[in-house]
Chain A
Amino acid sequence: GAGVSQSPRYKVAKRGQDVALRCDPISGHVSLFWYQQALGQGPEFLTYFQNEAQLDKSGLPSDRFFAERPEGSVSTLKIQRTQQEDSAVYLCASSYSGGGGAKNEQFFGPGTRLTVL
């Protein structure tokens, strides 16, 4: 059974470049989440989709960050004009259904490590 996959696994960008990070959730999972994990810290919430609807983007650090999930499956996190402080591991997670609570376990992908030079 396939889990959550992310690509690329590693990305090096020069400051000012745009990057696109892809997440393939578990098939049939309604909810999709993006988190940012800086070095030596716990992951922090960025944004949340239920199907194709972006229900919460309160964690996006600036307007340079943009996420989409146009067909309710694959999601892309785009960062424009990357800065050094964007260097982090970007984690994607999916869960079977919407709604909060422990019944909707989030399954995490391996992450994309972004390094901005």
Chain B
Amino acid sequence: AQSVTQLDSHVSVSEGTPVLLRCNYSSSYSPSLFWYVQHPNKGLQLLLKYTSAATLVKGINGFEAEFKKSETSFHLTKPSAHMSDAAEYFCVVSDLAAGNKLTFGGGTRVLVKP
């Protein structure tokens, strides 16, 4: 069975400072990992995905994530937060044992202070 744990339910940062959202996963096989963002009243948008190629993955809007198999982690970072980054972020895992379904973490709500 696969699972995802997002270690922080809320993160508050000041505009212009780094953002770190932590994610640990559990998977029976080599997983595919994703980060999605959800703005209020909008659909989920894919930020980036890990496809078993490069362990450092770059996504949209300056976000990136590093896959660390030894730590079963896939933390999301951004060097400098912008006000528009305020949203809910979900770490997601999918693996062959689970077919096509995505398993979401509980989400991290990001607040950006001016």
How extensive is the interface on chain B, given as a class? 20 to 34
Q: A59: which B residues are within 8 A, CB to CB?
A: 101
In Å, the complex CA distance between A42 and B88 comes to 10
Residue of A nearest to B52 (CB): A102
Evaluate contact between A42 and B105: CB separation under 8 angstroms. Answer: yes
Count, chain A residues at interface, CB 8 A: 31
User: What residues of chain A lie closer than 8 Å to B102, measured between beta carbons?
Assistant: 33, 35, 43, 45, 106
A31 proximal to B (CB < 8 A): yes
Of residues A42, A95, A101, which shows the largest number of chain B Cβ atoms within 10 Å of its Cβ?
A42
Q: In the complex, A44→B44 CA distance in Å?
A: 13
Query: Min CB distance, A95 to chain B, in Å?
Result: 8
CB interface residues, B 20-57, toward A, < 8 Å: 32-34, 36, 41-46, 49-51
Of B32, B96, B106, which one neighbours A42 at CB under 8 angstroms? Answer: B106
Q: Contact: A108 with B99, CB < 8 Å? A: no
Q: State in angstroms the CA–CA spacing of A67 and B6 once bound together.
A: 30
B45 to chain A, nearest CB (A): 8
By a beta-carbon cutoff of 8 Å, the part of chain B in contact with chain A is 4, 32-34, 36, 41-46, 49-51, 90, 94-96, 98-107
